[in-house]
Amino acid sequence: MTAVEIVDRPRQGEFLGPLREFLAAHAGPPPRGGSARLAWARAFHADLTDAGLAAPGWPREVGGMDLSLPDQIAYHREMTRARAPRHPCGLSFIVAPTLIRHGTAAQKDRFLRPLLRADEFWCQGFSEPGAGSELTALSTKAVRDGDHYVVTGQKVWTSQAHLADWMFALVRTGEPGPKGISYLLLSMTSPGLTVRPLRDISGGTHFAEVFLDEVRVPVENLVGRENDGWSIARTSLGHERATAFLSDEFRYRRVVSELIALAAGSPAGDDPVVRQDLARMEAGVRILASNSRRALETVLAGRDPGPASSVNRLMRAEFDQRLHEVALRVIGPDAVLGNREPTAPEGGRWTYGYLMSRSSTIGAGTAEIQRNTIAERVLGLPAPPPAPGAGHRAPVTGQDGGAGRRAGGAG
């Protein structure tokens, strides 16, 4: 049972007509250039929200459509088919379910609609120089001072920090380890907060370091209870991850078909090695669809799809890398032209995707960490013994170690 099969189950579907009308009027080819594309995506999602056609899985009381899972799948299929722009701030959909589940009424009223309309961007303040995959070692401190917390420390590999209006961050308010972590919302315009961009392999500055020097954060920006941030960060993503995978399934299906069409129109399409690679990509996208069955069946049964999500995440990251490697072989020598070159094939999307996909198995927890998570938490295998002199290694937590991003041809 794939997402395509689930979408054919009985459903209400009243939203499909209005959604298709909206997409016919608003979707279309994106403008060229990063700034113009960003403005286009922001305007699209503002209009989508104002039309009541955003957030298919959110409850109605917080501005969502409250669709059943089969209807959410149908929604994502229509959006993919129309090539609608993805929300320009994907990290918004990590903090949003957290606020819906754990936030106060005031926090929901203040943040959810601007987030959905893309009026305000968010970044994630989790990873630190000394706390990546082992995130519970974070050391950024938040000390209570009257009706504020005073936050001091450093975050790193922070995606879109240069664009963000707000950061959702894990900070230490208590004892070492997971029990002393709290979840705070910080304004990026706060005095004492400095963003230093980090240039990546594509030449862009998607990532940044963020320095926090006695930044004052109102206590009302605490999400949940003090020292309960680790639990909040780990438990707020299950259903959202599952439905995000649904949109990935449709998107990858489309992109693999585009890659096959690209090869068919080039000399590479006659190369038996390339043809074998394309066959592997076709098999891979079908495997991804098949593997979604476990997550979808779990969600339909009302359970957290955690184990299946771990497997899906690892498979998607490695598939993303292989997909772009094959694309560059199909393109040939012109693949050296980046997305800033006007003559680059297809606007340089495949080359950019290849460069950014290098981080697919590093960001949001390395592939090695994911394999340990699957081994220990899914298969029930014992943790490996520590290396000589390394001391005891804590069991894998399964926590995302950073923001992570897939931003290539499949985007």
Question: What amino acid positions are annotated as catalytic residues?
Answer: 240
Signed CA dihedral, 240, 241, 242, 243: sign only: positive
Rounded to the nearest 5°, which phi and psi values hold at 212?
-120, 110
Q: What's the CA gap between 348 and 408, in Å, rounded?
A: 10
CA distance 370 to 398: 7
The amino acid at residue 385 is P
The alpha carbon torsion through 70, 74, 77, 82 (nearest 10 deg) reads -160
- Three-state DSSP class for 294? helix
Alpha helices in 211-237 (DSSP H): 229-235
Tokens 């995606």 locate to 159
- Residue 348 one-letter amino acid: G
Measure Cα distances from 339 to 71, 172, 202, 231 in Å.
Answer: 36, 41, 9, 40
Type and span of the H or E element at 330: helix 306-331
Angle of helix 238-264 versus helix 92-102 axis, rounded to 10: 160
**Distance (Å, whole) CA 57 – CA 69:** 8
Q: ∠ CA(70), CA(364), CA(150), 5° rounding?
A: 110
| Residue at 213: amino acid letter | D
Who's near 119: CB < 8 A, 6+ residues apart?
A: 42, 46
Tokens representing residue 356 in the block = 């950014």
Report the C-alpha dihedral over residues 317, 318, 319, 325, rounded to 10 degrees: 110
Task: Give kind and range of the element (H or E) at residue 316.
Answer: helix 306-331
Measured CA distances, 188 to 159, 162, 212, 219, 385 (Å): 13, 9, 10, 16, 42
Retrieve residue 320's tokens.
């993303």
* Spatial distance between the Cα atoms of 57 and 352, rounded to a whole number of angstroms: 31
